[in-house]
Every structure is written in structure tokens, then in C-alpha cells.
Amino acid sequence: MGCSVLALTIITSTLGGLVFGYELGIISGALPQLQAHFYLGCVRQEAVVSALLIGSLLASVIGGWLIDRHSRRTSILLSNLLILGGSIILTASMSFSALVVGRAIIGFAMSISSMSCCIFVSEMVAPHRRGLMVSLYEVGITIGILLAYAVNYILSGVQAGWRYMFGFAIVPSLVQLVSIGFLPQQTSVSLITEDDREAEHVKYSIFDLFRTKDNMRRRTAIGLGLVLGQQFTGQPNVLFYASTILFSVGFKSNASAVLASVGLGLVKVIATLLAMICSDKVGRRSLLIGGCTALAVGLILSGFLCGQSVIDTTKQCSSLEPHGNLTSPAKNQENVALQSTPSTGNETHNAHGHSIMLSHSTDMYKWIIFICIMAVVSAFSVSFGPMTWLVLSEIFPKEVRGRAYSFINCFNVGANLIVTFSFLSIIDVIGLSGIFFVYGVIGMAAVVFIYLVLPETKGKSLHKIDRELSQTRFFPREEVCSIFHRRHFSPGYQRVHLTSTTT
């Protein structure tokens, strides 16, 4: 019976992740159609995308109380019902306001779902399988994103296809709703290790997160560092604006850009599966350090390549057509070619040759940039994607876990909102190359932070992690000092004094 409940819990959690990922990714392909249908400028496009995060931010404020007070199961059920309601509103939307309201409701539900599912699963499984099982939620997210990109491509040429895109989320939500009815109200004590059952029940309040009691301040700093790092390295924009980015770097139609985004989704699924398998073997800390390093390098290289490309990826928001639609990057490319083509008759041959060389150069750069973006997505999916939420589900005491998770998620969603809502406007000022460089520098800073602050939690019970974090300093002083000692104080050549004895 315990195994059946555990399996059902994992299925429900994975379905929740799938719906989460689908709602994250579907806006990428729906946005060009919404732009044309509702005549959306840059600010309104950013508002539609970011409405999801506004709802999620509100849920982060009250979600922790809901999870700790009314059980994880009740929270999952509420989130599921809200997703159904929000999907119906989006499918039937007749105005920009309805789009924003529907997206905000779904954002609220997704935030509740992500917190409650990860916590629920982490409390149901043994320590040596926790990384694998909790990461299944992230696997569900990546499969949902891939599914969304595939639906985007299939419906990219369908009139009012965006309505079907939003409506398809109802199907997995109904399946999840049925499975929730069989879940227990609380985690089963028989499924939790003996070490955890012996843990002392200490009362915590939300204010304890900022105090030195049991090193709670350090735990809060770890959580904040991880969520801010994953957001300010720009990954949300790669998901939300995938088609727009790929369109800008040279994919010449909405269909080709959306199809390329399907490739990104497939790579993300494979990388997340790899992280899920390795999390309990390689460890959370090692995957975060390695993945974030690759992420930062990929972002910096993407910025360099965008800077060398002939494509004009700036001033997209300020270039408006007569009917209010944004000038597409493809048309910008045509403008570049036309401006480069001389008008005199005796130079027609040279101009034609220059245009061909320009086209070849554009094609080369767009594919190299696409490969770099795929590497960035893969690195994120191995590190920040699944590991952040796995670590957050482990480092806080059970009595305050929901509220701590909720508090950290407030900063996560707030940072996501800032990054997402400003993306097109920042590109208008510094271009894709500039914004990729900024994300890359932040990624390198995140590597240093993780190396200095984050302990390894693989294979440890929740109680043991709690006990170790309560007793250690903010920085792993012994590790830092040992490195410093080896570098500066390791013994070199020494003078040997010989003494002779007479007999």
C-alpha cells in the first residue's frame, strides 16, 4: 500500500510539472499570433508573458501558509482547479485584459503546485532516492515545455491557433485532478526513514529565517542565492521568448523559429533526465558548479557571436509598422541587404555577390548561435533547473519548510518578473549580445557563490541535513582554509641539520 501511494504521489507530481512546463513554453509560440490578433506592442507583449509571474508572486506570499496549515494534498488540489479555470478563460479570451487575468490565475496555481509537489515528494522518499524522485517534477516541466513547443509548431499556421494552444492544458489537468483524489492528506510516517522520525519537533516562525538560530540565516542565504542566480542568468527569457530570440538571430519565419525551439525543448528534456539520474550519484553541489560554469561560458560565447553577426537585433520595439506590428528581424535582415546593395548598374554583379556572402554569413552565425543556446539550455537543465528546487526541499526544517519555500519563491518569482518584463526593452538598448554578456557574468558569480556556500546533501536524511546545517558556519571554513594552506603554507625545501655522534 505504501508503494502504491508513493507511485501515485510521483505520478501526480510529474503531471503537475508537465502542466507547469506546458504553460511556461506555450506562450513562446502563441505570442506572435497574439501580437497579430490583438495588435500588441512590446509593453503589452511583456505584460501578457509576465502576468503569469505576477500571479505566481502573489501565490508565493500566501502559499507557504497554505501548504503548512492545510496540507500538501489540499494545496495541489487547489492549484489544479485554478489551472483548469485559467485555461478556460485564456481559451475564450476576447480582449487583452482577459489574457492577462487568465495568465495571472494560472501563474498563481503553478506556484502553489511547484512548492507543494516538491515538498510532498521529498517527505515521502528515502534519502538515497530523494534526488531522483524530486527531480521527476523537473522532468515533467521539461516534457511539458517540449510538448508546448511541438503544439506551437503544429498550430503556427492555424487561424486562432493560440486558443487551442491554451486549451490543450485542460487535458493533463483533468488527469491530475483524478489522481489527487487518491493521495493521503499527509506524508506517511512509514515511508520516512527512522532518522527523520527521531527528529525533535521544534517550533519555527517565518521570522526565524532571518535569525542565527540553527543557522537559519545561512539556509535562507543559500536559497536566495540559488533562485536569484537561476533567474538573473536569463533562462526564463530563453523559454518565454524562444521564438523571438531565434527569429532575431536569423530564422526567417515564425514556423522555422518555432521548429528550432522544439529542438531546444528536446535538448532540455534529455539534459534534465541526465541530471535526474546523476543527482544521487554525482551530487547536487557538483552538478550545480559544473552546470553553472558551462552555462556562463555558453552565454558569454553567445554574446560574442551575436555581436559579430550582421543581424540587427536592436531597436525591435521602436521599429513599428503602420498597423502597430513590430518589424520582424527577417525584415531587418532584408533592410541590411538592401542598404548594402549599390544602386548603380555597373555594380549590380558585385552587389549580388555581396548579398550572397551576407546570406551565407547570416546562416552560419544563426546555427552557431543556436548550438550555443542549446548548450546553455542543457547546462541550466543539469544544474539550476532541477537542483535548486531539490536543495530547497532539503535544507529547511519540516515545521517551516512550506513557509521557507514560499519566502524563497517570492524572490524567485520577483526576479523572474524583472528579467522577463524588461527583456525586449533591454534588447532595444544593448542588443542580444549585450544582454547575453551580462547573463554570463552573473553566471560566473553564481559559480563562486555555490562553491563557497553550498554543502553537499546527497544520500543524507532530512534530519541529518538539518543537524549538519545547524552546526556549520556560513562558509565552509575548513575547506577554504585547507586550500589556502596548501597553496601558501605547504612545506617546500627545508634545511636538514646533521649531528654527529662520537663513540
Rounded Cα distance, 415 and 227, in Å? 8
Residue 497 has pLDDT above 60, yes or no: no
Residue 97's pLDDT is: 92
For the segment 14-33, the average pLDDT, to the nearest whole number, is: 85
Residue 88's pLDDT is: 92
Give the CA count within 13 Å in the CB-facing half-sphere of 26: 27
For the segment 187-200, the average pLDDT, to the nearest whole number, is: 45
Residue 411 has pLDDT above 70, yes or no: yes
Mean pLDDT estimate for the chain: 76
**Top-ranked range on mean pLDDT: pick from 186-195, 344-353, 358-367, 374-383:** 374-383
Rounded Cα distance, 436 and 21, in Å? 23
Residue 329's pLDDT is: 42
Q: How far is CA 47 from CA 43, 55, 96, 100, in A?
A: 6, 12, 10, 7
- Using CB atoms within 10 A of its CB, is residue 154 exposed (0-12), middle (13-18) or buried (19+)? middle
Residue 115's pLDDT is: 80
For the segment 118-139, the average pLDDT, to the nearest whole number, is: 76
Residue 5 has pLDDT above 90, yes or no: no
Taking only the tens place, the pLDDT of each residue in 457-478 is: 888 888 888 888 887 655 554 4
Q: Which of 371, 389, 379, 374 minimizes the C-alpha distance to 141?
A: 389
Q: Which of 120, 85, 121 minimizes the C-alpha distance to 104?
A: 85
Kindly report which listed range (156-170, 280-294, 325-339) carries the lowest average pLDDT score. 325-339
Residue 3's pLDDT is: 64
- Using CB atoms within 10 A of its CB, is residue 82 exposed (0-12), middle (13-18) or buried (19+)? buried
φ/ψ of 186, rounded to 5, equals -130, 165
Structural contact between residues 188 and 4, judged by C-beta atoms closer than 8 angstroms? no
Residue 100 has pLDDT above 60, yes or no: yes
Give the CA count within 13 Å in the CB-facing half-sphere of 363: 6
Angle subtended at Cα 151 by Cα 142 and Cα 107, rounded to the nearest 5 degrees: 55
What's the pLDDT band for 141 if we cut at 50, 70, 90? confident
Q: Which of 79, 75, 80, 71 minimizes the C-alpha distance to 178?
A: 80
Residue 199's pLDDT is: 46
Residue 241 has pLDDT above 80, yes or no: no
| Crossing angle of the two packed helices 72-91 and 96-122, in degrees rounded to 10 | 160
Task: Report which of residues 8 and 269 the model is more confident about.
Answer: 269
Rounded Cα distance, 380 and 436, in Å? 14
Residue 220 has pLDDT above 60, yes or no: yes
| Crossing angle of the two packed helices 42-70 and 423-453, in degrees rounded to 10 | 40
For the segment 178-196, the average pLDDT, to the nearest whole number, is: 58
In the chain, the percentage of residues whose pLDDT exceeds 70 is 74
Kindly report which listed range (44-48, 103-107, 176-180, 486-490) carries the lowest average pLDDT score. 486-490
Residue 135 has pLDDT above 70, yes or no: yes
Residue 406's pLDDT is: 81
What's the pLDDT band for 149 if we cut at 50, 70, 90? confident
Q: What is the 3-state secondary structure of 359-373?
A: HHHHHHHHHHHHHHH
Residue 69 has pLDDT above 80, yes or no: no
Q: How many CB atoms lie within 10 A of CB 159?
A: 9
For cell 550572397, the residue is 356
Structural contact between residues 341 and 349, judged by C-beta atoms closer than 8 angstroms? no
Regarding pTM above 0.75, the answer is no
Task: Report which of residues 77 and 312 the model is more confident about.
Answer: 77
Task: Report which of residues 325 and 449 the model is more confident about.
Answer: 449
